[in-house]
Copies of this chain bind each other. A is one copy, B any other.
Amino acid sequence: MSINNLDPTDTAILQLLQHNAELSNKEISYKLHKSIATIHERVKRLKEQGYIKRIVAILDRKKIDRSLIAFSHVLLNDHTAATLDAFEQEVVKFTEVMECFQMTGTFDFILRIATSDMEAYRLFYRNKLATLPNITTVQSFFVLSETKSETAYPL
């Protein structure tokens, strides 16, 4: 449940793999002054126990035509479980929706939307998001520039 299950070696391994999962067990063992067998065992356990959810390739979104990122704040008509569930169930199906969080505060959801450009966002908004039932308001904010974008948590 907690980070307290992890000793300094586990933590160091996670730290390394968060930044570069192409490191071989051999390279990690060298960096951490441990045997290959130890690293192999640790990594296997960290995956089995779910600390490492998956290993993925991070792409340059500008090179694959996803230059525009928008954050959209969605407010629903009512907050019954049925309405919330129905919205979540539908919105996650849209491929433009990279993330969906239910929030505290003055609105219900934050969506992170990735599209090629403003026109593509407009089409997404008109033809997909705005067609969902029970939406009161959608407020959209657009990313001008990305100052920091990190997938690795400090440990």
The answer to whether A78 has its CB under 8 Å from any CB of chain B is no
For residue A53, which residues in chain B have a CB less than 8 angstroms away from its CB?
58-60
Range of interface residues on A (Cβ < 8 Å): 35 or more
Tallying the copies of this chain within the complex gives: 2
Bound-state CA distance A30–B155 (Å) is: 38
Bound-state CA distance A16–B35 (Å) is: 31
Segment 109-155 of A: residues with Cβ below 8 Å from B: 109-110, 114, 141-155
Closest to A108 in B: B144
The answer to whether A99 has its CB under 8 Å from any CB of chain B is yes
Q: Which residues of A contact B (CB under 8 A)?
A: 1-3, 6, 14, 17-22, 49-61, 63-66, 69, 71, 88, 91-92, 95, 97-105, 107, 109-110, 114, 141-155
